[in-house]
Amino acid sequence: MTASAVSSQPPRTGIRATAWSLPSRAVALFSGPAGFAVKIALLSIANAVGLWALVILAGRHQWTAVGIVVAVTAVIDALYLVPGRAVPAKFLIPGTFFLIAFQVIPVAYTIDVAFTNYSTGHILKKPAAIQQIKQVTLAETANGTSFTMAPAHDSSGNLVLLLVDDQNGKTYVGTSKSLTPVPKSTFKRSADGSITGATGYTVLTGAALITVSKDLSGLVIPSGGDNGIRAEGLDTAVELHPTLRYNAQRDVFVRISDGAVFHDNNRGSFVHGKEELLPGWKVYVGFHNFSRLIHSKLIRGPFIRVFIWTLAFATLTVFLSFALGLFLAITLNKQGLRLRWLYRSALILPYAVPGFLSLLVWRGLMNDDFGVINKLLGHIGVHVPWLFDANWAKVSVIVVSTWLTVPYFFLVSLGALQSIPSELIEAARVDGASPWASFRKVTLPLLLVAVAPLMIASFAFNFNNFGNIYLLTGGGPSVGDNTVAGATDILISYTYKIAFAAGLGQDYGLASAVGIIIFFIVAAISWVSFSRTKALENLA
């Protein structure tokens, strides 16, 4: 393969010239105080970072994390300060550290999340969810207490409510934790009764009021029993009474009005028949996410459609690019062809431009009304909805992906063609093979030995080529069924949308399950490619 020849070429000249003078120079340069100082400096940085983490973690009582940090730092110090032992580990630890932290742990966590119902409405732990349910099901009663209210900041900037009971005129300051009676003289009130100021508190007005309005609507002040006080608008508040009672012994909610019992359904929710209390909590659901992909009609349909398109997209991109790249390589790499260098450089250029830029530009070129392609086509009376029509969007995605990938296979084919000994082709010709036969029987098989592994790698890459889809079409156009999956979404962009698109809620559990399925597909492809590659090499 030319590949190894090219990459091992640069240092070859270097070795000859400097080989035998290097060791002695190196020893002089890296021995003694200089090397030691570098080592100590790096270790000090590692220890400083560890110490910084410790202080913050201890301050937050994260004792497990404290233990891990101490252990990791101790291992690193011991490893590099004790001389002459576990030498390979000294070289492996730095990379392994990051590998574990940001590759192994995320993979493990992905697997963990895939078996949970982690999603919008199932974020909290159970006790927090119970607390939340109690708060959101509070309701105003006919003769409940009402208050004149003003939102304010206390001296440390926390949001509090200044409250005056409309019936008896008692004054309070309420926080999310408590309701504290204060002397009436604390509040300054205008003629119409509204609170304009308070000693020790800053009453919020204007823009400040608007910025806290979201916090304000979520603030419930406990006022004895299970009751709570909540702001209604910006200047009044009402005392709310629970509509549900939580029975800790039986672990159920009972509706006060009709006695309906909501019990834990082991799926992270309290339910009564089809009624479900929100929010739920995060819980392990076994293979539920995977079985949804097979059994839930709403999910299975889009999933299968996306899966088939992913295969089609990756296969077509690779084969079209390879065919075109090889064709151009054979056509334009003829000895003595004038301007060969120009064609070659021009064809490589798209490869040198960062892909995300090309994709965003293509999106503009293919714009429906203003894009230059449609404007040019307009001269002959043709208008193509490149990105708006489901089928045309698929064509567009493949055209652009091919544009991006052809240069790669052009380069690869150039290299591979040069590595095929010309004697073989001449021998075929001497034996009377037609040019087409000698290409098909000699050139192509030899070429494939070198290029097939790269085609498989390119397939695996395109299988997860998020950018080509998301930056060009955004996965769209929408196909209208009840799903986030658009017409050109591939599995990875579908996963991204399940997890992060706001439209139908965020389902981290399902997204992780799809991620794991993609892993198995790519791993299978890679596995096949490894064994196939070996077979091909043996053939050659």
Partner 1 sequence: MSTVDETAGVAVPRTAARRGPRFPTLGENWWRHAIGIVAMVWALFPVAYVISAAFNADSTLNGAGIIPRSITLHNFKQLFASGAATKHFASAADYPYWYMNTLIVSAATAFFTVMLGALAAYAFSRFRFRGRRMGMLFLLLIQMFPQLLAVVAIYLIVFNVGGIFHVLGLNSITALIIVYLGGVMGVNTWLMKGFFDTIPKELDESARVDGATPAQVYWGVVLPLAAPVLAVIALLSFIGTINEFVIASVLLQSSKHQTLPVGLYNFISGQYAQWWGPFCAGVLLAALPVVVFMMSLQKFIVGGLTQGSVKG
Q: Which of residues 451-510 bind partner 1 (CB under 8 A)?
A: 454, 457-458, 461, 464, 466-467, 470-471, 492, 495-496, 499-500, 508
Q: Which residue lies nearer to partner 1 by CB, 17 or 207?
A: 17
Read off the DSSP letter of residue 260.
Answer: P
Residue 13, helix vs strand vs coil: helix
| Closest-CA residue to 177 (of 154, 197, 200, 205) | 154
Q: What's the token pair of residue 160?
A: 């509090």
* Residues 508, 499 contacting (CB under 8 angstroms): yes
Interaction between residue 85 and partner 1 (CB under 8 A): no
Q: Within positions 54 to 73, which residues make up the interface with partner 1, using CB under 8 A? A: 56-57, 60, 62
Q: Mention every residue, 6+ apart, whose C-beta is less than 8 A from residue 154.
A: 160, 173, 175, 200, 201
Q: Which residue lies nearer to partner 1 by CB, 361 or 504?
A: 361
Q: Within positions 92 to 131, which residues make up the interface with partner 1, using CB under 8 A? A: 92, 94-96, 98-99, 101-107, 109-110, 113
Q: How far is the CB of 355 from partner 1 (least distance, A)?
A: 5
Q: Which residue lies nearer to partner 1 by CB, 121 or 355?
A: 355
Q: Within positions 180 to 219, which residues make up the interface with partner 1, using CB under 8 A? A: none
The CA-based angle 421-426-428, given to 5 degrees, is 105
Element holding 52 (H helix, E strand): helix 32-59
Q: Which residue lies nearer to partner 1 by CB, 99 or 210?
A: 99
Interaction between residue 8 and partner 1 (CB under 8 A): yes
**In the block, which residue shows the tokens 């003078």?**
21
Q: How far is the CB of 55 from partner 1 (least distance, A)?
A: 11
Interaction between residue 313 and partner 1 (CB under 8 A): no
Q: Within positions 218 to 247, which residues make up the interface with partner 1, using CB under 8 A? A: none
* Residues 76, 43 contacting (CB under 8 angstroms): yes
| Closest-CA residue to 472 (of 366, 313, 349) | 366
Burial category of 280 from C-beta neighbours within 10 Å (exposed 0-12, middle 13-18, buried 19 and up): buried
Per-residue contact flags (x/-) with partner 1 for residues 511 to 530, judged by CB under 8 A: xx--xx-xx--xx--x----
Q: Within positions 319 to 358, which residues make up the interface with partner 1, using CB under 8 A? A: 323, 327-328, 330-332, 334-339, 342-343, 345-358
Q: Applying CB under 8 A, which of residues 3, 40, 74, 261 lies at the interface with partner 1?
A: 3
Q: How far is the CB of 15 from partner 1 (least distance, A)?
A: 6
Interaction between residue 362 and partner 1 (CB under 8 A): yes
Read off the DSSP letter of residue 256.
Answer: T
Distance separating alpha carbons of residues 418 and 412, to the nearest angstrom: 10
Distance separating alpha carbons of residues 97 and 229, to the nearest angstrom: 50
The CA-based angle 135-139-145, given to 5 degrees, is 110
Interaction between residue 289 and partner 1 (CB under 8 A): no
Interaction between residue 424 and partner 1 (CB under 8 A): no
By DSSP bridging, strand 179-181 and strand 228-232 are unpaired
Interaction between residue 395 and partner 1 (CB under 8 A): no
Choose the stretch contacting partner 1; rule: CB under 8 A; options: 50-58, 188-196, 288-296, 390-398: 50-58
Distance separating alpha carbons of residues 129 and 145, to the nearest angstrom: 27
Interaction between residue 258 and partner 1 (CB under 8 A): no
Q: Which residue lies nearer to partner 1 by CB, 122 or 230?
A: 122
